[in-house]
C-alpha cells in the first residue's frame, strides 16, 4: 500500500511542478514568453531499448528519450541532463543545448538507469533528462540558450519512467 501511496504522491508532485512551471511561464515578461515554445510544441517520449539483470541482481536498463518538434517553426531544445554514479558517489547535472529541430524533426537522447546489488554502490547509475525547454530559433531568442536563470525558472520538469525499479 505504501508503494502505491508513494507513486500517487510522485504523480501529484510532478503535476504540481508542471503547473508551477506553466504558471511561471505565464507570468514571464512578454519577450521571454515570445521565445519559449509551448509545452505541446516540443514533446518528449520514452522508448525502452533493453533491460538486463545479471546473476548478482544488477539491473541495467537502457532507453531513448525522443524529443520531437511539433511546431510549425524551428525550435532548439535545451535539456538539463542529470548523471549519477553510485560507485563514484557522483551526482551532477548541466544544461545542454541540443541541435535545432525543424518542424517534424526529432532528436534521440540515449538514457540509462542501472540499480546495483552491491554494498560498495551508494546509489544507481543514471543518465537522463530532468528538465527541458524549447527555445524558438530566432536571433533575438538565442540568448536564452545559455541564460541559466531563465532556464531554471521556466523549464518543464521531466521524469523518465521506463526503467524505475
pLDDT of residue 36: 93
| Domains identified in the chain, total number | 1
CA-nearest of 93, 44, 89, 74 to 135 is: 74
CA-nearest of 134, 136, 132 to 156 is: 132
Instruction: Establish if 100 belongs to a structural domain.
Output: yes
Instruction: Establish if 164 belongs to a structural domain.
Output: no
Instruction: Establish if 165 belongs to a structural domain.
Output: no
Instruction: Establish if 162 belongs to a structural domain.
Output: no
The string of pLDDT tens digits covering residues 67-121 is 999 999 999 999 999 999 988 889 999 999 999 999 999 999 999 999 888 888 8
Whole-angstrom distance, CA of residue 144 vs CA of residue 75: 12
For residue 101, give its domain range: 2-157
Instruction: Establish if 163 belongs to a structural domain.
Output: no
Q: How far separated are the first and last CA of the chain, in Å rounded?
A: 16
The string of pLDDT tens digits covering residues 22-61 is 444 455 677 788 899 998 999 999 999 999 998 888 899 9
Instruction: Establish if 78 belongs to a structural domain.
Output: yes
pLDDT of residue 120: 86
pTM: 0.78
Whole-angstrom distance, CA of residue 140 vs CA of residue 126: 35
Instruction: Establish if 31 belongs to a structural domain.
Output: yes
Instruction: Establish if 115 belongs to a structural domain.
Output: yes
Amino acid at each position: 500500500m505504501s508503494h502505491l501511496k508513494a507513486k500517487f504522491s510522485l504523480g501529484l508532485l510532478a503535476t504540481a511542478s508542471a503547473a508551477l512551471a506553466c504558471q511561471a511561464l505565464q507570468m514571464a515578461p512578454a519577450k521571454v514568453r515570445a521565445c519559449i515554445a509551448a509545452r505541446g510544441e516540443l514533446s518528449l517520449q520514452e522508448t525502452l531499448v533493453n533491460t538486463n539483470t545479471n546473476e548478482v541482481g544488477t539491473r541495467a536498463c537502457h532507453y531513448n528519450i525522443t524529443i520531437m518538434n511539433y511546431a510549425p517553426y524551428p525550435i532548439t531544445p535545451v535539456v538539463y541532463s542529470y548523471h549519477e554514479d553510485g560507485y563514484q558517489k557522483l551526482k551532477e547535472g548541466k544544461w545542454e543545448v541540443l541541435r535545432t529541430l525543424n518542424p517534424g524533426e526529432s532528436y534521440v537522447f540515449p538514457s540509462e538507469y542501472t540499480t546495483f546489488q552491491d554494498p560498495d554502490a551508494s546509489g544507481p547509475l543514471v543518465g537522463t533528462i530532468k528538465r527541458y525547454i524549447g527555445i524558438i530559433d530566432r536571433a533575438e531568442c538565442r540568448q536564452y540558450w545559455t541564460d541559466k536563470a531563465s532556464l531554471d525558472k521556466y523549464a518543464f520538469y521531466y521524469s523518465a519512467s521506463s526503467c524505475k525499479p
